[in-house]
Amino acid sequence: MLNFSFTEEQMYFRDMLKNFAKDELLPHYTRWDREGELPRSLWKKLGEIGVTGLRLPVQYGGSEADCVTAGIAAEEIGRGDFNLTYAVMLNALIGEIITKHASEEIKKEWLPEIASGSKIVGIALTEPDAGTDAAGIKTTAVYQDGVYVLNGEKSGISVATIGDAFIVFAKTDTHLGSRGISTFLCPKHLDGVECKGYEDMGNIPIGRGSIYLNEVVLPEKYLIGEENKGFMQVMNGFDLSRLLIGLQCVGAGLQSLDETIEHVKVRKSFGKPLAKYQGVSFPIVTHYTQLEMIKWQAYRGLWLRDQGLKHSKESASVKWMGPKCSQEAIHECLLLNGHYAYTKEMPLEQRLRDVIGLEIGDGTAQANQMVIANDIIGKEFKSYEKPVTS
């Protein structure tokens, strides 16, 4: 059986979010960018309407929704306020890591606050010398008498300035490459943790920045999962976050196309509405076609994940094409709206800046293409491992 329909519950959730995004998010989207801050009240509001706890267990205040439902949230919120989609994507990724691997004490302490939207937790993997090659991180966690001592620098981290804690990846065995990495939950208020924001091109309210860890003492309970298994734990999570990122970008792209379609129906040149000219309608159709195809590949990937089936290559395909095709669609929309869209009065220039960020965040196009190549060509042809010798 092949069934492309959402359940009744999913359709109800989708309609509720569509109205919420239109009435409560979209009218203020550009304001948070100009003011450079993310209103915590809105993140909390997302908690009240069940968005921040979607992938968290019911016993800790979540709703244990399936991945497809999380995708609906990413897409619809992406239409209203791209930056608030981080609440869907980060919470799904972090929620899974904590739920699957953390101690009961950490779950009780953090999950209800994450689910309610009261606390924001980021994910800190990238470092100044290790981005795509994430196994090359240099941050260390040394075990001494019941505590781990963390030292290192994380860079490019979303919510660095506004987060309450971070899932930090550090080497517990410096000789083992990706098999020597462990995961920790590191509250921001601890001595030795310092966060510094960047002046970014987009995603401004998200407060991306660097995190400096200087002799940070973490009690043993903050180790998440087993020592040296951290990398595998996050790699599986990326298969989910990448599908959600694809949908949040597609949401922003489709919203821009909807707004542009309304514009070209009423704006006239040479006595006719712009929509009558195929030089205008065909680019709209091209971008719409691309985004719809990526959207359904994303929902397919989420469905595969819900069934417990393999979905890494589907996820990687959505991650590299979703942000790319969305930013191309938004760019085209900006041009079709004329000079006024080049001002900050309209959301298009901001959407363009915001979406471009996720062509890099959570893995570039090339990083995702490596995942697909490993699957369809074969692991023995990996560029980043020793060539196979006969």
Site residues for ligand FAD per CB under 6 A: 122-126, 131-132, 156-158, 203, 208, 357-358, 360-364, 366-367, 383-384
9 near 72, Cβ under 8 Å?
no
In the complex, the smallest distance separating the C-beta of residue 263 from ligand FAD, rounded to whole angstroms, is 28
User: If DSSP codes are grouped into helix, strand and coil, which group holds residue 203?
Assistant: coil
CB of 367 to ligand FAD, least distance (A): 6
Tell me the residue type at 146: G
Report the C-alpha gap between 96 and 90 in whole angstroms: 10
Q: Which is nearer to ligand FAD, 270 or 384 (CB)?
A: 384
Is 63 strand, coil or helix? Answer: coil
- Cβ closest to ligand FAD, residue 316 vs residue 367: 367
The nearer residue to ligand FAD, 125 or 257, going by C-beta atoms, is 125
CA–CA distance from 7 to each of 11, 63, 88, 129, 348 (Å)? Answer: 6, 16, 20, 45, 32
Dist CA 51 CA 111 (whole Å): 14
Given the complex with ligand FAD, which of 56 and 94 has the nearer CB atom? 94
Strands 165-171 and 121-124: parallel
> Measured between alpha carbons, how far is residue 66 from residues 17, 69, 248 in Å?
16, 6, 17
- Shortest separation between residue 119's beta carbon and ligand FAD, angstroms: 16
Q: Which residue has the tokens 């800190």?
A: 124
At closest approach, how far in Å is the CB of 159 from ligand FAD? 7
CB of residue 83 to ligand FAD, shortest distance in Å? 10
Q: What are phi and psi of 186, to 5 degrees?
A: -120, 105
Residue 316 contacts by C-beta under 8 Å, 6 or more apart in sequence? 242, 363, 368, 369, 371, 372
Q: What is the CA radius of gyration of the chain?
A: 21
Supply the minimum distance, in Å, between the C-beta of residue 105 and ligand FAD.
25
Per-position DSSP letters for 156-175, written without gaps between them: EETTTTT-SEEEEEEES-TT
- Minimum distance between the CB of residue 157 and ligand FAD, rounded to whole angstroms? 5
Complex with ligand FAD: residue 62 or 237, whichever CB lies closer: 237
Q: Which is nearer to ligand FAD, 123 or 165 (CB)?
A: 123
| Closest residue by beta carbon to ligand FAD | 131
Nearer to ligand FAD, 124 or 240 (CB): 124
Shortest Å distance, C-beta 363 to ligand FAD: 5
Of 58 and 388, the one with the shorter C-beta distance to ligand FAD is: 388
